[in-house]
Structures are given as structure tokens and as C-alpha cells.
Amino acid sequence: MDKLIVHGGATLRGSVNISGSKNASLPILAASLLTDKEVIIRRVPDVSDTNYMVQIISALGGEIERSSGTVRINNKEIVDTAPYDLVRRMRASICVMGPLLARTGRAVVSLPGGCIIGDRPVDLHLRGLEALGATTEFESGNIIITAPKGGLKGAEVNLRGTHGPTVLGTDNVMMAAVFAEGTTVIESAAAEPEVEDLANFLNALGAKIEGAGTRRIVIQGVTSLGGTEHTVIPDRIEAGTFMAAAVIAGDGVVLRRVCREQMVAINHIFEICGHKLIYNEAGDIVTIHRGENPIGAEIITAPFPGYPTDMQAQMTAVFATTPGISVVKDTIFPQRFMHCAEMKRMGADINVDNGTAIIKGVKQLSSAPVMASDLRASAALVLAALTAKGTTAISRLYHIDRGYEHIDEKLLQLNAHVERVKE
Ligand code: EPZ
């Protein structure tokens, strides 16, 4: 296992390219299962989550070639059972269920295990697929879902759960509905840019989907799909993470290949804290200047276009040394505060109670050996270490490698003093 050694105190400057979105790539790779024609997907980040998805697709019978960020897939013949030893490693594998069901009439996928940010139910996924006529059974930890003899039928379904819409649930139902006879309407759909990118990919294959990016998505069933070439949207969470690094330890850091429209909620919080974000005309390059007198803020996470839960840990690292009191409430994953305990070991003043963290900014954190836990919590620890006094060792780096493409190389490019070492 690798660990990241971070020597605090370096000033970040220069520019990096933001990678393609992990959370758009995963459902788009899964959606390739819907067609027997060749698809080419560009800007797929080289992270372990996309590597798992590529392995799952080839285990299902797909022929895959991957060279740097471009993935070429031919799914001429596929089987309906996803391999447990791969599926169990990544919750997002659940998004092969919809395309397998639509393409083969059946899907056998392991129930995802829970994970450190909290319970990860799939009841909304199943509600949607059953509304299209599928029947579900559970056997030795697998979901076995089967389409009726005559195929799936279009239906109206509301996918809202107690914590709001479901991103991958919306993806699964949208993909399953592509071949369903008639019209499917998804109410309370997730409106994340990654859902919209998936819909754009499906429409490029020949699907008929309208309304993606809103709470109401309408899918007209078609009988077959062709091939296409698609470039994945930028990763707005990676961009937000590097923005946080820039305000914590930077002086005029430039991020390229971003998308301003997808960053409105993220930009807003940085700006009300007093930091400056200067975008170019096209909105795909941003320069970040730390504010002279930054102040704290209150974040309440919400489904897009609200503040993303995937950014709250990183902002907690910003607030840890921002003068004043800040509040972070996660309404989507109320247990997603593993990073706080580790930051407190670095001297942060944080109280977590009932899904809310109250952070009182301190002058400086100090280094301590800390342990990564989940993807975004681990990124937050790297951010906290950038200005901590001394050298911080962050172990279990594989958590970060799941969703950040070569994070150590990008930080080095920005003049950070970091090194990846074998544990
Ligand atoms: C996606 O996960 C993202 N992952 C997550 O990013 C992100 O945190 C999450 O959406 C919320 O934005 C990918 O896109 C690969 P949900 P997903 O279904 O789709 C509850 C990261 O760091 N729920 O939108 O699995 C659920 O418990 C990852 O990149 C049900 O109750 O999340 C949660 O409280 C972490 N029943 C809320 O809905 C269901 O059937 C939102 O979950 C499904 C979900």
C-alpha cells in the first residue's frame, strides 16, 4: 500500500489540467453494454474505480482497449451476471444492472456492501426497474432482476427517497428504459451534470431521452442502438478539490479543462468566504486567488444544483484554518464525517453532531500520521496537510487513487512538496 508524505508550507502556483469526470465515466462505461456496436469514450480518468468498471465490462464479455484516457469498447456478446469479486469493490458497479436488464432481459449483480460514508441502499433503483415490469429476487447476496417475457414496458416512476433523488438510481432506470416499449417518465430524477452527460451519450447512440439535467426525464423506447464517440465532461469535484488546495496554500493557481456552469454552488461558497475566482470567457479555465481576510461559511449539502456532498470534506479542510465559525451539514450522507476525527488529531477544532460539523478556525494545523478512509475524506486530509506545520504521512492512499487521477503528480506540478512512498 502507498502513502503520501506531505511537507507543509509550500506555496502552490502554476496550472494543472482537470481530468474527465469519474462519476460521469462510470455510468457511461456501463451504458456501453446496451449496444453491440463499437463505442469510443474519451477523457476517462485513470483511477481505480474506472479500472474496476473496465474489468467488469470485459468479464461480462466486452472487448475493451484502453490507451491513456480513451476507451474503445465492443460488447457484441455479453452475459448477464456481473463478477462478485469485482462488483464488491465498488458500489457504483450497481449501474451495470439497468443496461444488463435492458440488453439481455436479466441481471445478476451483487448487493453493494455498505461503505464508510454510510448505508448505501438500492431500494430506489429496484422501485424504478420494477415499475418497468421487472421482477426482483435475492439469492446469496445477489440481486437477480428479470424482465417480463414481452420485455420492459414504459411507466411513470418517482425516484425520490428520504435523502432526495438518487444519482445512480436515475442512471439505472434511464438506461433500462431505453428499450422499454412506450414512454417512461422519471419524476424526482437526479439532475447532476453526470446524469446529463450519460443522457447525451445514450442519445448519441440513438436513444430518445429528454429532460436530463432536470427533475423530470422522459424516455421514448427504441428497438436498437448504434455506436458513437463521446468525450466525458470535466470532473467538477476534482476541480473543487484543487480550488480548495489553491485557497489553502496557493497564490494564483490556474485550473484548465473546468466547466463554470457545473461549479456554481462550489464557486459561490469560495466567493462568500472572500476568495477570488477569475474564469476566462469560455468558462473552462479558472484562476484562484486566496482572499486577504477569508471568513467562514455555512454549507448544507443538497442534490444538484445544491452544494455537492462530495465537496463537504474538502471544504472542512478549508474551514479548519479559516478565521471564525463554519458549519457543514450533510443531508445526503449524515455520517460522512470520518475526516473530522483525523483533522482533530492535526489540531483542528471541530465538533460533529447529528450530521453537522461545527468548525472553529485555528491559526495552523500540525502534522500527525493520519489514515485515509473514504475517497473525499482522504483528499481533505491531503488539503489539511498542505499548510500544517511539519510533515504529514497519509496512509492507505488507495482510497484517493479511486477517484483522483495521479493526485501526487498534479500537486507536484503545482509546487507542493509531496511524495508517494510504499508503506
Ligand atoms: C453518487 O452516488 C456518486 N457516485 C457519489 O459520489 C455521490 O456522493 C452521490 O451520488 C450523491 O451525490 C457516483 O456517481 C459513482 P445516491 P449514488 O443514490 O448514486 C440514498 C464520490 O465521492 N439512496 O444519489 O450511489 C442514499 O443512501 C461518490 O465520488 C436510497 O435511499 O448516491 C443517499 O442518502 C461518493 N436508496 C442518497 O439517496 C437508493 O436506492 C443519495 O444517494 C439509492 C440511494
Question: Ligand 1 pocket check: which of 47, 52, 168 to mutate, most ligand atoms within 8 Å of Cβ?
Answer: 168
Q: Hey, what CATH topology would domain 2-15+235-422 get?
A: UDP-n-acetylglucosamine1-carboxyvinyl-transferase; Chain (3.65.10)
The reported pLDDT for the residue numbered 373 is 84
Centre of ligand 1 from the C-alpha of residue 111, in Å = 15
Q: What atom of ligand 1 comes closest to residue 192's alpha carbon?
A: 12
Q: What is the pLDDT of residues 136-195, one digit of tens each?
A: 999 988 999 999 999 999 999 999 999 999 999 999 999 999 999 999 999 999 999 999
Domain ranges of the chain: 2-15+235-422, 24-231
Q: Give the per-residue pLDDT at 60.
A: 97
Q: Would you report the helix, strand and coil content of the chain in percent, each value rounded to 5? A: 35, 30, 40
User: Measured from the CB, is residue 403 less than 6 Å from ligand 1?
Assistant: yes
Calculate how far, in angstroms, residue 190's C-alpha sits from the geometric centre of ligand 1. 10
pLDDT attached to residue 367: 94
Is the distance from CB of 174 to CB of 157 less than 8 angstroms?
Answer: no
Query: Is 236 touching ligand 1 by the criterion CB < 6 Å?
Result: no
C-alpha of 7 from chain center: 28
Closest C-alpha among 15, 23, 298 to residue 168: 23
CB of 217 within 6 A of ligand 1: the answer is no
**CB 93 less than 6 A from any atom of ligand 1:** no
**CA 282 – ligand 1 centroid, Å:** 30
Contact 176, 27 (CB under 8 A): no
Q: Give DSSP secondary structure letters for 84-150.
A: HHHHTT-GGGGGGHHHHHHHHSEEEEEPPP-BTTB----HHHHHHHHHTT-EEEEETTEEEEE--TT
Matching fold, domains 2-15+235-422 and 24-231: yes
- Among protein residues, the one with the nearest Cα to ligand 1's atom 14 is 23
What is the Å distance from ligand 1's center to 150 Cα? 32
Alpha carbon distance 225, 207 (integer Å): 7
- Say whether 115 is catalytic: yes
Residue-averaged pLDDT of the chain: 96
pLDDT at 374: 87
Per-residue pLDDT of the chain (423 residues; tens, 9 = 90+): 889 999 999 999 999 999 999 999 999 999 999 999 999 999 999 999 999 999 999 999 999 999 989 999 999 999 999 999 899 888 899 999 999 999 999 999 998 765 667 777 899 999 999 999 999 999 988 999 999 999 999 999 999 999 999 999 999 999 999 999 999 999 999 999 999 999 999 999 999 999 999 999 999 999 999 999 999 999 999 999 999 999 999 989 999 999 999 999 999 999 999 999 999 999 999 999 999 999 999 999 999 999 999 999 999 999 999 999 999 999 999 999 999 999 999 999 999 999 999 999 999 999 998 988 889 999 999 999 999 999 999 999 999 999 999 999 999 999 999 999 998
pLDDT at 115: 64
- 280: CA distance to ligand 1 center in Å? 32
120 lines ligand 1 (CB under 6 A): yes
**Per-residue model confidence (pLDDT) at position 423:** 80
The CATH class, in words, for 24-231 is: alpha beta
